[in-house]
Amino acid sequence: MPENQKPQIQKQQTANFLNSLVVLGKQHRITSILLILGLLLTFMLALYSGPPSEETIIENALAGTVTIKNDIALGSGVIISTDDTSSWILTNRHVVDPNNDGSGAPHQIVEMSDGRTYYPSYILIPPYDDIDLAYVVIVKVNVPAVIIDYDYKPTTGEQVVAVGSPLGLENSVTTGVVSAVRYVTAQTGYKTEVIQTSAAINHGNSGGGLFSLKTGNLLGINSFGPPEDLKSQGIGFAYSLQLLASLPKTNWRSLDLNAPSACRVDWDEVGLTNADGSSIGMEKIEAGTCSQYGPVWCNPSTRKLEERADLCGCPAGYKASGTDCIANDQGGNTVGNALFDETITLESDSIWYYGGDSPSLSSTETLHYTVSSNLQVSIDVVPSKDDFRKALQGSDFRAYSACTASNVYSYDKFCTLDKNGGIMITNDNTASATIHVVVKTS
């Protein structure tokens, strides 16, 4: 090769080498960029994996739904938030305040989906009586709150699931669609968004959640179905969360968690009217007392009236037979006031009724004793006043063992009593016991 060509060949080789390096560098840059883009795409997919599955949505909805029980009603609720000390449950007011009068209901209990139970710390109702929502606050529980997006608008045809305890069947789900979104105006002027759904909503679903199966969002609180006389399948309604968002956050009222002090009685339903035939209407009867209208008693544990002849006596022409009133011509002869048929108040002491006080009592009679008390009492039928004095002195005394009862609320026995005998009732409590005693011949 001529010497003069060597420099040119070397230059060409150098240029080719440099071009190769440039091409290789470009390829590496592209590879690096592609690698970085791939990593970013993987990271973004990890952050956003798409909407949750229906199974996940239902599982989360069940976990955030509770059952609310009391002596009058059973319903549901949804955990919507938790702070450092408390968990807040949204429900219907009619679940925790069935009479809608602010008196609430006795023995409120919140039961979690896993069976744990809690007593409410307090219950709040809105400042307006026509808003059927309430908060139940319990101690903080380790349960995630449900997803709420106040800006989300449910659409007609969107698939939903209603969660609650229909007819007492706890942790139940029913599916359907959003049939329509309607608007009603409350008496207070609030324009309320109501979600109509084909998901079945029955008694016990009240207060539970209506969830979107598309996003998992809580859309509303299951509240009511059609009237009973218009009952139809596939029609239920839930108050949209827009109602909760529009309500003022202050001036909510606290319910009294103690047992109520009165029963609300609709005398028209009981069948009682005034003497002129006019309606007596609604009345509050103090718990534990008898009604002026007859032998009925307000039971504070149920807030309902019960016929209790042993507590309230009987109207004219009737006599007590246990807890019932029967006509005077039924059964045996009533001793009545000749011995005793009355309500007494006993406070940490004893009461003695003596057969000799009854001129109608023969030397020996079999009597039917009926005793009822609001506190535990001890009851003994004893042969004589001397036995009664021994009992008060704490010494031995002779009692009819078949007619003895200790620490009872009620007593119903047939006992043989001679003219010198009587019945002794003792209350070991410091509080006053109100006792009704009826004695009649067998």
R_g (Cα) of the chain, nearest Å? 38
Q: What's the pLDDT at 315? A: 59
Q: For residue 340, is it left (φ>0), alpha (ψ between -120 and 50) or beta?
A: beta
Q: How many helices (H) and strands (E) does the chain have?
A: 7, 26
> Which amino acid does the sequence have at 314?
C
pLDDT for 65 equals 93
CB 141 within 8 A of CB 112: yes
pTM of the model: 0.53
Structural domain spans, the chain: 55-139, 159-246, 262-307, 317-441
Tell me if 55-139 shares its fold with 159-246: yes
Q: Which two tokens stand for residue 182?
A: 């309607």
- Tokens linked to 399: 């009692």
Q: Give the pLDDT of residue 330.
A: 44
Catalytic residues: 94, 132, 206
What pLDDT is stored for residue 213 in this prediction? 93
How does 374-405 read in b/e, with b if 16+ C-beta sit within 10 Å?
ebebbbbbbbbeebbeebeeeeebebbeebbb
Stated as kind and residue range, the H or E segment containing 174 is: strand 172-185
Q: What is the pLDDT of residue 274?
A: 74
CATH 2.60.120 fits 317-441, yes or no: yes
In contact, 105 and 70? CB cutoff 8 Å = yes
The pLDDT, as a whole number, for residue 413 is: 82
Domain 55-139 - what CATH class? mainly beta
User: What fold, for 159-246?
Assistant: Thrombin, subunit H (2.40.10)
The dihedral built from the CA positions of residue 9, 14, 15 and 16, taken in this order, carries a sign that is: positive
Long-range contacts of 184-192 (CB under 8 A, 24+ apart): 186/128, 186/130, 186/131, 187/128, 187/130, 188/128, 188/130, 188/131, 190/128, 190/131, 190/243, 190/246, 190/247, 192/239, 192/240, 192/242, 192/243
Q: What angle do CA 47, 52, 54 make, to 5 degrees?
A: 170
Q: What is the pLDDT along the chain (442 residues), one digit of tens a residue?
A: 555 555 555 556 555 655 654 554 555 666 666 666 666 666 665 555 567 888 898 999 999 999 999 877 889 999 999 998 999 999 999 999 887 878 787 778 899 988 888 989 999 998 887 889 999 999 999 898 999 988 898 999 999 999 988 777 777 888 899 999 988 887 767 778 899 998 888 777 788 999 999 999 999 999 877 665 555 567 889 999 888 888 888 889 888 776 566 777 777 776 667 778 788 787 777 776 777 666 677 776 666 777 776 667 665 556 666 566 665 554 333 333 334 566 777 776 667 666 655 555 666 777 777 888 888 888 888 777 667 666 655 556 677 777 888 888 888 888 877 667 777 788 777 778 888 777 776 5
Distance CA(99)–CA(93), nearest Å, equals: 10
C-beta of residue 220 within 8 angstroms of C-beta of residue 242: no
How far the first Cα of the chain sits from its last, in Å, is 148
